[in-house]
Structure 1
Amino acid sequence: MAPRSAGKPDATGARVCVGQIVGVHGVRGLVKLKSFTGDPAAIADYNPLTDHTGTRRFTVELQSAMKDYWLARVQGVADRTAAEALRGVLLHVERDRLPPPEDEDEFYHADLIGLPVLRPDGERIGTVVALHDFGGGDMLEVVLPDRRTAMVPFTRAVVPVVDVAGGRIVADPPEDLLAPPGAPDRDDDDDDGGDHGAGGREGA
């Protein structure tokens, strides 16, 4: 499963976060820009970007790609002091400017936030509040009815249905993934032998 853009929608859903200014470089106003778009270089295609309120606008020019960020120039920022003032700023784009996903297994992170997560039999598991990648593949952060959160692997095996248009996600996580801390493990005899492994969304 390959979400095309990270980040969350703002309170109105009108904007999506596509990047963040995470630091500065040198004395000539360059910033360190972390891109959340599927193609990191595509963030510049959405110029001008805005802050979360939509009132401040930023035009960025990518200079060179580093390991986890771009060195970039922000129009009108010419020295380190001005660049420092932008540290931590989240960069947004209007939701209607984003292209639709190109295939059925591509989703915008923002489209998944707030969707209910249901078991195959329709029982509600919880609600998606975030999507993370900790290095081993995407994980859905789901708030459960008792207000705990659980990390659900975002794979075909565990999440067979993502119905954005219908406003639902169908998941079949193993029971121990949702169990409260300290809950006893299920007996081996109860194991049905099913494979709930975290295979990539690209294949079962």
Structure 2
Amino acid sequence: MQLVVARIGRAHGIKGEVTVEVRTDEPELRLGPGAVLATDPAATGPLTIESGRVHSGRLLLRFEGVRDRSGAEALRNTLLIADVDPEELPEDPEEFYDHQLIDLDVVLADGTEIGRITEISHLPSQDLFIVERPDGSEVMIPFVEEIVTEIDLEEQRAVITPPPGLIDESEAVVVSSRDEEAESEEAAEKTDGASKGDA
């Protein structure tokens, strides 16, 4: 199974380094020196990581064969893709890969159906479930222990205990456009909790 583990950002310096937007909870495993990654677009890769370091809170990578700023800039917005055994599980039992969570049914503790997870949004402070409601609308649910109380992979469901107003019909926080993502980021920053993982 192929999973997106990072997106290449802008070039850093003049020696071929690039910033990357990490999309995995295991960067030391997926993005370590020697890792060979497929790419999207496919013609850009495969890319082999030569070295990596953290600078000002951002991960910087250098790839074999990329030696200058123009070469690094040519990689901008490329997605880095790792081959992952579909049976492989994160070491922490409280962490999950994105592909394990997509399509799970979201229900309340009493079994009331809320919708289906269609996407995981990875924000700096936490992760969000993008949940499609039965009527086609979408709601964002913070993936924190206080709200997501159980992930049952056997039953293919996520049990939630939402605070008042998160999904109530009378005052639902419904998201119909990705243009509202900035508002969701602001809300996410006010919620305490640890991300339980992604790819």
The bucket for the TM-score relative to the shorter chain is: 0.7 to 0.9
**Counterpart position of 1:21:** 8
Question: The residue matched to 1:139 in structure 2 has which SS?
Answer: strand
| 1:31 and 2:18 aligned | yes
Structure 2: 5+ residue stretches without partners:
173-190
Structure 1: 5+ residue stretches without partners:
1-13, 184-197
| 1:137 and 2:123 aligned | no
**Counterpart position of 2:160:** 171
Q: How does 1:1-204 map to 2 (within 5 A)?
A: 14-45=1-32, 47-52=35-40, 56-96=45-85, 99-174=88-163, 176-179=165-168, 200=193
Query: What do you get for the CA RMSD once the two structures are aligned?
Result: 2.9
Distance in 1 (alpha carbons) for counterparts of 2:58 and 2:87: 21
Aligned residue pairs total 175
Q: CA deviation at 1:41?
A: 3.0
CA gap 1:92/1:118 in 2 versus in 1, 3 angstroms: same
Question: The residue matched to 1:81 in structure 2 has which SS?
Answer: helix
> TM-score, structure 1 length as denominator?
0.71
CA gap 1:30/1:156 in 2 versus in 1, 3 angstroms: closer
Give the residue type in structure 2 aligned to 1:160: T
Question: The residue matched to 1:147 in structure 2 has which SS?
Answer: coil
Question: The residue matched to 1:38 in structure 2 has which SS?
Answer: coil
1:73-107, CA deviations, whole angstroms, 9 ceiling, x for partnerless residues? 11121222222211000101112188422243111
> TM-score, structure 2 length as denominator?
0.73
Q: Would you say the 8 A contact 1:33–1:69 is kept in 2?
A: yes
Query: Which structure: greater strand fraction?
Result: 2
Question: The residue matched to 2:30 in structure 1 has which SS?
Answer: helix
Q: Quote the sequence identity (%).
A: 31
Q: CA deviation at 1:117?
A: 0.8
Moved more, 47-56 or 157-166: 47-56
Q: CA deviation at 1:66?
A: 1.6
Structure showing greater radius of gyration is 1
Question: The residue matched to 2:31 in structure 1 has which SS?
Answer: helix
Give the residue type in structure 2 aligned to 1:41: E
CA gap 1:98/1:50 in 2 versus in 1, 3 angstroms: farther
CA gap 1:97/1:130 in 2 versus in 1, 3 angstroms: closer
